[in-house]
A and B are shown apart, each in its own frame.
Chain A
């Protein structure tokens, strides 16, 4: 077993870190306060650096790198701005990846290529008011009429919603089938008549990442936009979320690392009782626990990414990574606020933003409870 990153992975980390610190970090605070998505910075620049299609083959405009490189990229972006991290994760894992895995050659050329090169931004529409953790409860319908499908329904909490050009959307195509078998996946383009956006969510964290409602009212899309087989939607959604967990686990890992780095540097500088607070064992013990948890999460995240790269089964590994990394992010950021004391509670330091951002990682792309369910089911299978 080798725990060393390759030269390429190290170079990718250096490149993304430099970009993140130089270009992304300076506006993270103001974008959070203004709840503003800066597409030129948070997506177009990622495309220029070749990050929008990291794991896809070059023939589809991708970078031809592995999942560990992808995890590192999301981690480094999230270390300074969790909103930028999730923009990439939702785009790549949730939209481009199912098209890569289940799309026809024609769909890959038409939709995956511009997603991978960063020409187009992607999003994923699964969650509905009545279908969150229970994806089988999908009520949006797709009815075939001639060479088209007519979509009706509403999707909520959609990351990159409104900004994205390409959406992978799930809808019920067979009302009579058992609930998991009657769902299909579709590719829907922004601008299609009948496809509009509802309210923008005002959130606790990741406020620079847009979260919108998708509304389909007699939205007619070509039958050729069916992704995978008819009725295969639930399987596509679950497979997509397995990969998505690696992205969110990496985001959580980055948030934790950012909070740890901040707490360590603060503990060196901040003086109380005539000495830096880092000289006190009480603070050292806190930092030690934060670092140990973060490193443990990192190993689980890279392990899941390694398995995904090698084509091994990684459903349980990614659930464990996501569970561990997101709970670590919540604990480490909360502790970072504690280490920074009163300053940590102010908006002058990023600790409070990191703590607010961390919370969502325990909720989206499968709550911690759902991760435990996936792991438990895997154990008892």
Chain B
């Protein structure tokens, strides 16, 4: 069984973001980098599938500058077998189509049985890379999965739909899955596995070697929304508060009109 997991390195979402000089992306300055949360579910699912399915080889793939290797090492420490780093110092300028095409170019002749990606990245959030990749590789794609059951080669997944509705989907390999919160609890990479990760194969390929198409989208401006006025804080005892609230609802809304 051959498994591919595509991950992205994103800033810690607790970071203080600043818009970069040219106004099209955030400044990488002093950010702390992490694995995209949804990709952690993807890595965990791949490792669980290997543990359940026996003979398997998991390749973890990541596009980005040299620093993404640290995030890849985490995936290797969690249980992936080998890493493929597609080196690109300015990947933030590329659109999902370009990145999907690059991954497809790498994966096309590798005969992966299962491909896992996060359902979206926490920074760009387009939610397209996995879906486009499946299309380019002519694979069925099941998005936003929250449960994955592998039983003697047959796969049954649960999808999350709008409004909390769930759907059960049966699919056979090869197939691609985009992973949603709730799918699993990613394991901690244990210390011995962190130490072993540095001995695992981590191949670097230049983006240019795989990039056959030019980006078709360009972010022209990135900005923080304008600050709106703060909320109104009412003060006083309970009876006072209730009176004030009723007055506001009567005057400013149609609720008590």
Alpha-carbon gap, A16 to B70, bound state (A): 16
From A49-57, A140-148, A234-242, A246-254, the one touching the partner chain is: A49-57
A11 near B192 with CB under 8 A, answer: no
Complex: how many Å from CA A177 to CA B194?
48
Q: Decide: A12 and B192 in contact? CB cutoff 8 A.
A: no
- The proximity string for A residues 262-296 relative to B, scoring 1 for CB distances below 8 Å and 0 otherwise, is 00000000000000000000000000000000000
* Interface status of A58 (Cβ within 8 A of chain B): yes
Specify the main secondary structure of chain A where it touches its partner.
Answer: helix
Query: How close is B36's CB to chain A, nearest CB, in angstroms?
Result: 14
Q: How far is the CB of A161 from chain B (nearest CB, A)?
A: 26
Known contacts: A7-B198, A10-B70, A11-B70. The answer to whether A65 contacts B191 by CB under 8 A is yes
Q: Residue on B with the closest CB to A19?
A: B188
| Cβ–Cβ contact B195 & A63, under 8 A | yes
Is A119's beta carbon under 8 Å from chain B? no
Alpha-carbon distance between A8 and B70 when the two chains are bound, in angstroms:
8
* Cβ–Cβ < 8 Å partners of B191 in chain A: 12, 15, 49-51, 54, 63, 65, 69, 73
Contact A7 B195 (CB under 8 A): no
> How many residue pairs bridge A and B at CB < 8 Å?
49
A18: CB under 8 A from chain B? yes
Knowing A7-B69, A7-B70, A7-B73, say if A12 contacts B188 (CB, 8 Å). no
Answer yes or no: B8 CB below 8 A from chain A CBs. no
Identify B77's interface contact among A11, A54, A65, A69, CB under 8 A.
A11
Interface string of B63-85 (1 = CB under 8 A from A): 00000011001100100000000
Q: Are B190 and A48 in contact (CB under 8 A)?
A: yes
Instruction: Output the residue of A11, A14, A54, A73 with the most chain B CB within 10 A.
Output: A11
Task: Give every chain A residue within 8 A of B74 (Cβ-Cβ).
Answer: 11, 14
Contacting residues, chain B, for A51 (C-beta < 8 A): 191
Write out, one digit per residue, whether chain B residues 4-41 have a CB within 8 A of any chain A CB (1) or not (0).
Answer: 00000000000000000000000000000010000000
A50 touches B192 (CB 8 A): yes
Minimal beta-carbon separation of A258 from chain B (angstroms): 17
Contact of B193 (CB < 8 Å), options: A14, A50, A69, A73: A50
- Give me the 4 closest cross-chain CB pairs, A-B, nearest first: A50-B191, A50-B190, A50-B192, A63-B191
17 A-B Cβ contacts within 8 A?
A7-B198, A8-B195, A11-B73, A11-B77, A11-B194, A12-B191, A12-B194, A15-B189, A15-B190, A50-B191, A50-B193, A51-B191, A58-B192, A63-B195, A64-B192, A65-B191, A73-B191
**What would 5 more interface pairs be, CB under 8 Å, given A15-B191, A50-B190, A50-B192?**
A7-B69, A11-B73, A14-B74, A54-B191, A65-B194
